[in-house]
Amino acid sequence: MAAGSRVSSAVPTVSFPELRSLLAAGRARLFDVKTREEVAAGTIPGALNIPVSELEGALQMDPAAFQALYSAEKPKLEDENLIFFCQMGKRGLQATQLAQSLGYRGARNYAGGYREWVQKGGEVEGGRAQEGRGRP
């Protein structure tokens, strides 16, 4: 097996029901790696927006600088359930791989992304969440 294919198959993922459960128990940190413009249209409540283009620098910052810039505590290398997501999954996968390469062992990808979250009736923050759809 080629090294590249081993890396992508080794990326841990989280499903919609598992993510919902982790969030309800307060056992996950969510990172929305979409652009700020995309996040303004909606995100999963409690997610910290760090666009994928900024993520490498952000995860290598001094904790105080991270706190000052993002108004949140910098994740620790040993933290579990650091969940990265985007709109449909590709950037979330890239972000998860990047975090793993920097030593974040608890990095996981929500492969369904924000699109699946909305389709399955997950709570949303900002934007026009349900766009006229009935409540689940």
Active-site amino acid positions: 86
Residues recorded for the chain: 136
Distance CA 1, CA 44 (A): 36
Q: Look-up: residue for tokens 């699109």?
A: 115
* Mutual angle of helices 52-59 and 63-70, in 10-degree steps: 150
CA distance 76 to 12: 18
